Chains A and B, each alone.
Chain A
Amino acid sequence: MVENNGVELSEAEAEQYDRQIRLWGLESQKRIRSSKVLIIGLSGLGAEIAKNIILSGVKSVCLLDNEKLKETDLHSQFLAPSDKIGENRAETSLQRARALNPMVEVTAETKAVEALPDSYFGTFDVVCATGLKQEQLERINNICRDKTNKFLCGDVWGMFGYMFADLFDHEYSEEIVQHKAVKRGPDDSEKNARETVTINVKRRAIYVPLQNALSADWTKPELRSRLRRGDPSYFVMKILLRFRDEYNRNPDPAKRKSDTEILLRMRDELVKELNLPVGFVSDAILTDVFGIVAGAAAVVGGVIGQEVVKAVSQREPPHNNMFFFNPVKCVGFVELYGQ
């Protein structure tokens, strides 16, 4: 994992990162500063993740995308200028991405994921993938596992979103605040004479690969009992990943009506396949999955960005292993799948 290279922060860095150093400490900031991150997919979600990670002050960020900027990207992709439609999404995002924080080295890679060798992905401390098919996600996840690097992926469809993390064998420290009574004098019993003491506890979390999480066995009683919570987000994610695999694209705002029909059909198939209660995955949640809504990209990109920061700084417990944002209830939650 990321080693603290021992180099002190410059005065400019200390000044610019002051408000976050006060939250996660100098050691975390040094670890962040020595880490290299790959972001795959420069949709609105990719732009949000890139913004958050570049602002945090990592060593370098590479933006990887072979797609061209489309009009649909513009309602969430703020790194690409709106007059660059038709150009490569990663390249057109470079200038604004660099301006966010000149202390971070930002580069672009325009090759397709399939065209890049395994060794390419192994050169980053963290890989963060969006917009890929399941097969590609699993390939990159397994490369990261071999290298014991961190892998995260996620997507936003309309207002709905998810994140998955495989931090392999992750060690981190967690800060626990304790209140302690302090006495100043021999008989001082002043209630106010209290001090807060922070203790750092070392912890370890073991993760499973994406294929385990995506093939969770819903016949098992422990998983079955989760249905009582009534949240269909896991299945919505499954449906949308299947849609992408099958049609080689995401649901298209321009084909809202016909794509909704396809989604509802796929929903019915999944409900049957996993023997879910009828109506468990409502029509409503499948109607707001077109394009990428800026607010949802900000929300999910914020969560993913923070998980990358946690992963590289090895500070605070990271989510293990899936996060979902359900826009119908405006709830965001973490669940463990595939273990």
Chain B
Amino acid sequence: MVARVAGVFDEKLTEAIANSKILVVGAGGIGCEILKNLVLTGFPYIEIIDLDTIDVSNLNRQFLFHKEHVGKSKAQVAKDSALSFNPSVNIIAHHDSVISNDYGVNYFKQFNMVMNALDNRVARNHVNRMCLAANIPLIETGTAGYAGQVELIQKGQTQCYECQPKAPQKSFPGCTIRNTPSEPIHCIVWAKHLFNQLFGEEDPDQDVSPDTADPEAAGDAGASALRTEGTEAGNVERKSTRAWASETNYDPEKLFSKLFGDDIRYLLSMENLWKKRRPPTPLTWNNLPGKGNPTAQHSGLPDQRVWSMHECAQVFGDSCKALQADLKNRPEGDHLVWDKDEKSAMDFVTACANIRAHIFNIPLKSRFEIKSMAGNIIPAIATANAIVAGLAVLRAQNLLKGETRACTSVYLRPKVNHRGQLFVPEKTLTAPNPKCYVCASKPEVALACNLKQLTLKDLNAAFKDGLNMQAPDAVVEGKGLVVLSSEPGETDHNNEKTLEEIGLNDGSALVVDDFLQNYEVRVILQQKDEEKSWRLVTDPDIPMPGPKEEKPANGSNGADEPKPGPSCSKEDSDSDMEIIEEDDTGEPAPKPPKRRKVGMNNEIVDLC
């Protein structure tokens, strides 16, 4: 099948399109639009991969899907709808994760190019590596609200997706969450942790009880006076929160009294914390503000009304009971996964976050707002996706004509810049970062850690979460000693040993590789006594992701995803993109270009 009508394109492009094979990764907002454009233009062979199913909140922009398709495979329905536009195109749909052994380097090599329409960093990083390994061009796209971007990634000619370290996701110190919250988000994070402690996967890093190891509280005599069960690790309870809640049969009043009464009184006893802060006010179940008050006049969506404390407590009780019932119906040892679209899970977090906010004199939020923050929802509209997908397919046409150098990045701005530009192209391709630990000819990165404490298990996590590998193998350079193996069980017996114990020291080099990604990197260990976990070091000036990051979000379909690492949660949007701003003065862009988070940031007025 050639472009349907001769004469629309010149002969060269017509022929290049007729002989092309394209892989589209993602059938969401941008993916649907890209697929439509490709099919209409007459691209004869397209494969599309997406592991998601259709949700009703997709329908305002993912126009290949209709109400009757909710719950079905995005890739399959997108294929069926797109075929109706041009039945002679060959489309192969995969309802699958692109991160799979089924899609290795040879699979990628069969395509002329890959077009990314993804919504998360993990998959973007992975496809980036696959395209570098297969040496085929990748057109990377993303939108966030009104903004968006299209960029070409071509090995050796442009930056790769990982050339510039991404800003780590916002994290909050444990003691802020557990002891001294000052913003609504701190209470929301706490409430999500509480959900996991009570109903979800218990994670020791998500403790919700007062943290007596808070350095600020040092020297507080009152702390130990009130309770005796405090442990040296700083956790007040030996018993897990889950076990305790279970013993009380998830009695809402008892849970409430402990979480919002006793624990708060305990925090008050840590007097040092409140010398310069407004102290919290414990709450009592039977005496909550708002009881008996008529519901205030409200004109927005029902979810946009802020609940009174009395209502919060009722929702807390009801959602606890519902979640407990849900948990009970599951096999022993199974747990719930927090999902913003599950009514009780969302109710629970809204109620708990607001009760805690009230206690700490922090502004309350509506369920609607808390859903955005807890679910990390990035708004998405049809028009921005249409524009970005249109630009992406025009860039694909440039590439097929051999005009690689013309394929500079293009940014869709939320508002025009001072030159009146709404779509802003870069003047030239952005050269690769020679120090990139992914696309450099000899990738290298330093790992700062305390060799006396970091175990091999931690090291494996560092490679997966920090270097975004799927199944790392590591050998000691020059010695051939296998430190980590992706073969199940092969090095598990060493899991708890520290790096020092297996003979690694400051300056030791490891050769770490991921077979699927066809990616190998040299990792140099740096001894840092003060490092509690690990930290990647490429350039001392650039902060790199470490492991202790707070994710405000877990995507609703997280269960199907490869396990997200700390630096890479699945986000509910068509993007977690960052925008590289073109230099507004028209001068050549400074290197490295300034990266900014997409958003309404061009109009931010700073009052501080």
Contacts and interface: CB of A to CB of B under 8 A. Distances in A.
A220 interface: no
A333 B420 contact: yes
Nearest to B574: A19
Contacts, number: 233
B13 to A, nearest CB: 9
A185 B420 contact: no
A330 B86 contact: no
Interface in B58-92: 59-61, 63, 66-67, 84-87
Contacts of A255: 7
Given A57-B60, A253-B7, A330 B420 contact: no
Contact of B387 (A8, A20, A175, A303): A303
Interface stretch (A69-77, A139-147, A208-216): A69-77
A117 interface: no
B384 A302 contact: yes
Contacts of A187: 276
B345 to A, nearest CB: 17
A180 B608 contact: yes
Given A298-B393, A301-B386, A302-B390, A51 B8 contact: no
A20 B60 contact: yes
B293 to A, nearest CB: 22
A222 to B, nearest CB: 14
Given A9-B301, A185-B278, A305-B383, A177 B391 contact: no
B400 to A, nearest CB: 12
A295 B182 contact: no
A330 to B, nearest CB: 5
A24 B350 CA distance: 23
A159 B394 contact: yes
Interface string B367-386: 00000100001011111111
Interface in A293-334: 293-299, 301-303, 305-306, 309, 316-317, 319, 323, 325, 327, 329-334
Contacts of B361: 184
Given A294-B41, A298-B389, A303 B5 contact: no
Nearest to A307: B383
B393 A188 contact: no
B410 interface: yes
Contacts of B393: 294-295, 298
B604 A18 contact: no
A248 interface: no
B383 A306 contact: yes
A14 interface: yes
Contact of B607 (A76, A179, A299): A179
A9 B421 CA distance: 35
Contacts of A246: none
Interface stretch (A123-131, A190-198, A267-275): A190-198
A323 B422 contact: yes
A291 B5 contact: yes
Contacts of A296: 390, 394
B183 A192 contact: yes
B379 A16 contact: no
A297 B5 contact: no
Given A299-B390, A332-B421, A75 B606 contact: no
B416 A305 contact: no
Given A19-B377, A188-B277, A194-B608, A75 B394 contact: no
Contacts of A317: 415
Nearest to A102: B67
A123 B66 CA distance: 30
B566 interface: no
Nearest to B301: A14
B277 A185 contact: yes
B325 interface: no
Interface string A71-90: 11011101001100000000
Of listed B3, B300, B394, B604, residue having the most chain A CB within 10 A:
B394
B145 interface: yes
Nearest to A14: B301
Given A9-B301, A327-B394, A334 B383 contact: no
A195 B410 contact: no
B60 A16 contact: yes
Contact of B85 (A18, A82, A254, A309): A82
B382 A56 contact: yes
A294 B387 CA distance: 11
Nearest to B300: A26
Interface string A44-83: 1000100110011100000000000001101110100110
A179 B608 contact: yes
Contacts of A116: none
A19 B385 CA distance: 13
Given A16-B57, A102-B67, A193-B183, A293 B277 contact: no
Interface stretch (B32-40, B487-495, B522-530): B32-40
Contact of B390 (A19, A99, A298): A298
B424 interface: yes
B386 A334 contact: no
A100 interface: yes
A325 B37 CA distance: 17
Interface string A167-209: 0000000011111110011111010111100000000000000
Interface in A232-269: 252-256
Nearest to B277: A185
Contact of B379 (A20, A252, A253): A20
B185 to A, nearest CB: 10
A294 B37 contact: yes
A15 interface: yes
Given A23-B381, A52-B382, A192 B182 contact: yes
A217 interface: no
A283 interface: no
Contacts of A9: 301
A158 interface: yes
Contacts of A333: 416, 419-423
Nearest to A23: B379
A187 to B, nearest CB: 5
Of listed A19, A159, A303, A333, residue having the most chain B CB within 10 A:
A19
Of listed A51, A72, A76, A184, residue having the most chain B CB within 10 A:
A184
B606 A299 contact: no
B515 interface: no
A71 B607 CA distance: 58
A204 B545 CA distance: 45
A106 to B, nearest CB: 14
Contact of A329 (B276, B385, B425, B608): B425
A234 to B, nearest CB: 12
B7 A291 contact: yes
A228 to B, nearest CB: 12
Nearest to B417: A333
Contacts of A184: 182, 277-278, 361-362
Given A19-B381, A175-B600, A331 B423 contact: yes
A187 B386 CA distance: 49
Contact of A299 (B36, B278, B372, B394): B394
Given A19-B379, A290-B7, A299-B394, 17 more contacts: A15-B56, A16-B57, A22-B377, A22-B379, A52-B383, A55-B63, A290-B8, A293-B8, A293-B41, A295-B397, A298-B33, A298-B36, A298-B37, A298-B387, A299-B387, A302-B387, A319-B416
Interface of B: 3-10, 33, 36-37, 40-42, 56-57, 59-61, 63, 66-67, 84-87, 145-146, 182-183, 274, 276-278, 300-301, 303-304, 361-362, 372, 377, 379-387, 389-395, 397, 408, 410, 415-416, 419-425, 600-601, 603-608
Interface of A: 8-9, 14-23, 26, 44, 48, 51-52, 55-57, 71-72, 74-76, 78, 81-82, 99-102, 158-159, 175-181, 184-188, 190, 192-195, 252-256, 287-288, 290-291, 293-299, 301-303, 305-306, 309, 316-317, 319, 323, 325, 327, 329-335
Which 5 A-B residue pairs are closest in the complex by CB-CB distance?
A: A253-B7, A298-B390, A332-B423, A23-B379, A302-B386
